[in-house]
Amino acid sequence: MVRIIYVRHAESLWNPIGKYQGRLDPELSERGHKQSKLIAQALKKYNPTVLFSSPLKRTYQTAEYISKDLGLPINISEDIIEIDHGDWSGMLVDEVKEKYPDLFRAWLYEPENVKFPNGESLTDVYYRVKKFQEKLLEKHNGETVIAVSHTVPIRASFVAGLDLPLGKFWAFGCDNASYSILDYEIIRPILYKLNNTYFLGDLFVPALDAL
């Protein structure tokens, strides 16, 4: 069994305004930097031995606080990068609703069938996060690993790790600067903790439902 602590990056400059980020690369907001300090402190008690991060700024900057506090080098993994939102990237939620009403509804209610125009499908993300989990189990069996990622790959990781239908994608909360723990093994995987944000106090901001 490998214990995987999934961390959603702290608040970026685009999160509060509801803009799809995808592979675009905004930095953390001022509040996001403060959140990152708190999540680093909250993770110390788990004694992790390895730290992975998506290569994008909002994840890497979050991981830097964890790296500094816990003394762990950052390993970059493309497997846990955010979904490529394609033509939605850089658009506000309200703009997407107006321009892509049918696809937006499908994203909320049939996410397993969605492929973003000029971007990725949720199935694409599922297979790369599944590959990431399998590599961790092979190389870090018995260890606790932190993975700083994004809302789509984290939710897809729960589906993949628990061997659930991809249509259950939206069943898991995933707020900014939250952490969740998956005890991953093939026979008996356990979602040990989900969407923990208690340590943020007044810095907590709920995520938008469509993001």
Q: Which residues have a catalytic role annotated?
A: 9, 150
DSSP code per residue over 5-40: EEEEPPPBSSGGGTB--TT----B-HHHHHHHHHHH
DSSP 86-135: GGGTT-BHHHHHHH-HHHHHHHHH-GGG-B-TTS-BHHHHHHHHHHHHHH
Burial of residue 12 (CB within 10 Å: 0-12, 13-18, 19+) is: buried
Give the C-alpha distances (Å, rounded to integers) separating 55 from 74, 78, 82, 143, 148: 10, 7, 9, 23, 10
Return the closest-CA partner of residue 9 out of 67, 57, 77: 57
Kindly state the helix (H) or strand (E) to which residue 193 belongs, with its residue range.
strand 190-196
